[in-house]
Structure formats: structure tokens, C-alpha cells
Chains A and B, each alone.
Chain A
Amino acid sequence: MGSYMAVHPLHILFAPHPHNNHKPKLLWHQSMIVLMGLLVMGRAMIDIFAGVEPGILGFASQIAPEKVIEYTNAERQSNSLPPLKYNQELSEAATAKAIDMFNSNYWAHVSPTGTQPWSFITKAGYNYLHAGENLARDFSEPQKIVTAWMASPTHRRNILDSRYKDIGIAVMDGYINGVETTLVVQMFGVEQSGASEVSSANVVSQVSATEPNKIYPESGISPFDAKRSWSLAFVILIIIALSLDWFIIWKNNIVRISGKTWAHLTFFLALTAILLIIRQGLVL
């Protein structure tokens, strides 16, 4: 009669053992397919929950528009360019664009109906010779927005374009696909006459698409954070299984047909770093 020792299911799942053919069950091909399914389903659940219960998951922040202009001009000045002047019409165009994005549920330079950013600028009464638009969402600080724009070649080109003389900005809280978000729309331009109407930089207003003048606190859980945590949970489980696998196989000098655990660890550790690096805020 052979001896039988019960093996803990966690051992089978996370560590190589004769019962799992010397490979943690979590790392089996079948398990990977199950993990992929759970990963995608979990994310879909978060998105569905955010849509069904708007406001529970979301992100709203208080971005001071004048600070965005200040940091934008600081970047221009550090590149020996003259600062941009606040323009009320461009700000109205930026506000109209933000309202349109919330009302039509999109996040893009061109609306689903094909409306170009320039249409908002013209409608606001700004007769432009050259114009540009930068978009950002879900940032918590104005400095981070400008830093992100400067890191993107196309946005950087707008900020450092010597042709532009005027700037307008809108910061607006609202819901896109049921998720609370803060949009920042930055419009650049130079008028055809060359003489733009200049207003005071201190009268920039922050508006809300849902409740005007409401000051939004930073929400506790954003859908992005929830989805990132979900991804991190999976990658941590895989890294634990890979580490145990490497250690036990090395310690017991087991020979098997398998990929390189060190390589898998390098790959998944790199992805963990990327998951931790990527920011909530997006620029477009």
C-alpha cells in the first residue's frame, strides 16, 4: 500500500509538485486562458458598474485653469518664446467643446458627428489664422497636465508653436459613459488680423456640465484605479507562482520541458513596473 499525503490546493496552484506535473497549476495553459477570461470580465464589470451607478466610480478634480495657462507659458518662456495671452473667445470655444464631449459622450478631437475643433473656435467669434487644440482628462494637478503634454510630441508642438499668440482654456467636470471625469480643453490661436482681443488672465472660469459652481472633491476610487488594481492582482499572483516555481525547480534540480522562468519573471516584472507607472490622466 503506497503512502498518500494530501496536498494543499494552494500548493498545487502555486508550487511545482508531482501532483501538478511539476508545474504550478496557475501557470498551466488552461489556467492562463481562465485568467485572461477573468481579467477581461472583471474589467468589463467595473465599466458596467461605472455606467449603471454613475458617480460611485469616477474621478473629478479641481484644476485651476489659470494655473494651466501659467505652466504653459512657463514652458514657452523657458524655450525663449513669448507668453500666450488669455483670450475669452478661445475659452468660450474650449467650453463649448467640453460641453459637446459630455453631451455627445466622446473623448476625441473630432466629434462622432464629424465636428472639428475649429468649428467651436469660429462659432465663438475668433477669426483664426492658425489654431490648435490640446485635450486632457482625469489629472489631479495642472502641473501634471502640462508635463504630460510636453512629453507628447504633438502637444508639445502646440505649446511651443511660435505662431500662436492667444490661449483659451476650459476645465469641466461631468460624465462620459457614466464615469465622472474632469476634462481640460486648451485652445491656441492667432487671429487673421494679427491683433487679438486681450482679456485679463485672472477671469478664467471653471465650469461644470452637471452642477454649475460645484466644487468637486477628488473621488476615492476611479475606474482606472479599480481596473489597475485588478490587473495588479493578476500579475502578482503570476509572479508569486513563477518565483516559487523557479525556487523549487532549482532546489530540487528537476528537469522538465518548459519555458524559462527567469525570462517570464523579467517579462512580468517589466509589466508590473509599467502598470505602476502609467498615469490616470490622459492627453489627446
Chain B
Amino acid sequence: MKSKLGKKHLDYLVLLIAAILSIVISLVYSANKQIVSISVISLAVFYFFWGIIHHKHEGSLHTEVVLEYLFYSIMGALLVVGLI
């Protein structure tokens, strides 16, 4: 139980670090569209797999959930990448 809770917290920590890293890269290379695009696409791809792994850890992985992460990841990438 304790280990499951620790794993869950670790998952969230990893997601938070990835999000912060992406923000920092965008901040440093804000005028370089290639680097920002790569950073955002990497975050979106990471988020999709993060969702699958996290729900697998929790034993709550369903097709519905996979599709949800897939659509959110594509939407997230489109929000920024199409802009720059």
C-alpha cells in the first residue's frame, strides 16, 4: 500500500519535472522555434506514455483512458507547435 502510494507520488514528481523542464527550455530558447517545437512535442509524447504507465501502476488502464491521454497530448502539441 505504502509502496503503491510512493510510486504514485513518484509518477507525479516525474510529470512535474518534465513540465518544468519544458518550460525552462522554452524560456531559454524562446526565439528558436525548432528547439521550442521539439521541447513541446517531447512533452506531449512523454505525457501520453506517462498516462499509460501511471494508470498501469494503478491498475486502471482502459482503452478510454489511453484515448483520453492520446487526444490531450495531440491537443497540447497543436496548441503550441502550430503557432511557431
Interface residues of A (CB under 8 A from B): 29, 32-33, 35-36, 39-40, 43, 136, 139, 144, 148, 151-152, 224, 227-228, 231, 234-235, 238, 257-260, 262-264, 266-271, 273-275, 277-279, 281-283
Nearest CB of chain B from residue A85's CB, rounded to whole Å: 26
Report if B84 contacts A (CB, 8 A).
yes
Nearest CB of chain A from residue B26's CB, rounded to whole Å: 4
Interface residues of B (CB under 8 A from A): 12, 15-16, 19-20, 22-23, 26-33, 35-36, 39-40, 43, 47, 50-51, 54-55, 60, 62, 64-65, 67-69, 71-72, 74-76, 78-80, 82-84
Partner of B36, one of A40, A235, A273, A274: A274
In the bound complex, CA of A281 to CA of B84 (Å): 10
Partner of B22, one of A258, A260, A270, A283: A270
In the bound complex, CA of A144 to CA of B31 (Å): 9
Query: Given A258-B68, A263-B15, A271-B40, does the pair A283, B54 have CB atoms closer than 8 Å?
Result: no
Query: Given A33-B71, A152-B32, A270-B22, does the pair A257, B43 have CB atoms closer than 8 Å?
Result: no
Nearest CB of chain A from residue B10's CB, rounded to whole Å: 13
Nearest CB of chain B from residue A156's CB, rounded to whole Å: 11
Nearest CB of chain A from residue B47's CB, rounded to whole Å: 5
Count of A-B contacts judged by CB separation below 8 Å = 126
- CB contacts (< 8 Å) of B33 on chain A: these are 282
Q: Would A29 and B67 count as touching, CB distance under 8 A?
A: yes
In this complex, which of A139, A262, A278 has the most chain B Cβ atoms within 10 angstroms of its Cβ?
A278
- CB contacts (< 8 Å) of B27 on chain A: these are 277
Q: Would B80 and A278 count as touching, CB distance under 8 A?
A: yes
Query: Given A152-B32, A231-B83, A234-B79, does the pair A259, B65 have CB atoms closer than 8 Å?
Result: yes
Q: Would B80 and A275 count as touching, CB distance under 8 A?
A: yes
**Can you list 18 pairs linking A and B with CB atoms under 8 Å apart?**
A29-B67, A136-B31, A144-B31, A148-B32, A151-B29, A224-B83, A235-B79, A262-B12, A263-B54, A266-B12, A267-B47, A270-B19, A270-B20, A271-B80, A273-B26, A274-B36, A275-B83, A277-B30
In the bound complex, CA of A263 to CA of B23 (Å): 16
